[in-house]
Amino acid sequence: MDLNLKDSVVVITGGASGIGRATADQFHAEGARVSVWDLQSPEEESFDFQQVDITSADDVARATEITLSRFGRIDHLVHAAAIGSGKFGFPFDNLSPDDWPRVLEVNIMGMTRVAHAVGPVLRTQQAGTMVFISSVAGQIGSQTDPPYSAAKAANINFAQCLAKDLAPHGVRVNTVCPGMIQTPLNKSVWQAWNDRQSDDRKRSYEDWAGEKIRTVIPLGRWQTPEDIAHTILFLSSDKAAQITGQTINVDGGFVMHW
C-alpha cells in the first residue's frame, strides 16, 4: 500500500528508542525525512537528530525553528516521549504525592509544549497530522502506576481538544494506545513490583509478564513497537483522511469499545 509519505517531513519525539524508534524506521523506509527529538541520540545516524528536553519550552521552540530551517516545513508529528514513575503504585498510597510531579511534567506538559510549538506550524500550512502515543492505562485506570495512567488519560483528552481546534485548518490529530509491549518502561513496572516482594514471591519478568498476557490479552500475545508504528503511519497518511479525534487501541483486544 502506497502511503504517499515520501519526502514528507516527520518530527518524532522520543524517537531514539522503543515505539518512537520503530516509527522513525518505518517512516524512513517510506522515504520520509525524519527528525528525531530526544534526550539521547539514535544508535545509528539514519535521521536528523536534535537533543531536546520536552520539559523545556526553550528546547522545544529551538528544535522547531531548526527543523523548519533544515527542511522548510513539518508535515507530521509523532509524540512518543514519556516516562513512568518507576514505582509500583498498587495500592495508590504505595506512592506519595511527591512521586507525581515529574511524571505529569514530562507526560502532560511535555505534550503541551510540543503541541504549542508544532501545532501553529501545521495550522499555518493548512495541512498536517499529529499522533500522540497514550496507553490503554489512560482508559482503564491501571493501578500499577497511577501518575502514568492519569497523565495518559490527559493525553487522550488534550488530543481531542487539538483535533477540534485544528480540523478547520486541515490538520488531523489522533491518539494511539499501545497495550502490552516489552519496552524498558514495561519492564520497570515489573521491577518495581518484584522489588517489593518477599523472596518466596519474587518472579522473573518473563513469568510475570507472560501470565498477564495470557489473562488480559484476548489474542494472547505481546504487541510490538512495530505493531504500533504501522498504525501511526496509517493515521499519518492520506489513507486516514477522514480520521481525526480518535483513540485507536493496538492492544490485542485488551480494551474494547463500541
Q: Residue holding cell 519550552?
A: 57
The three cell numbers locating residue 72: 522548510
148 is catalytic: yes
Q: Residue holding cell 498477564?
A: 212
CA dist 108 and 148 (Å) reads: 10
Task: Give me the amino acid identity at 95.
Answer: L
CA distances from 71 to 24, 60, 124, 132, 255 (A): 16, 16, 16, 22, 39
Q: Kindly name the residue from 88, 148, 158, 193 that is annotated as catalytic.
A: 148
Q: Is the separation of the CB atoms in 67 and 10 below 8 Å?
A: no
CA dist 225 and 18 (Å) reads: 6
18: left (phi over 0), alpha (psi -120 to 50) or beta: left
CA dist 245 and 50 (Å) reads: 29
Enzyme catalytic residues: 148
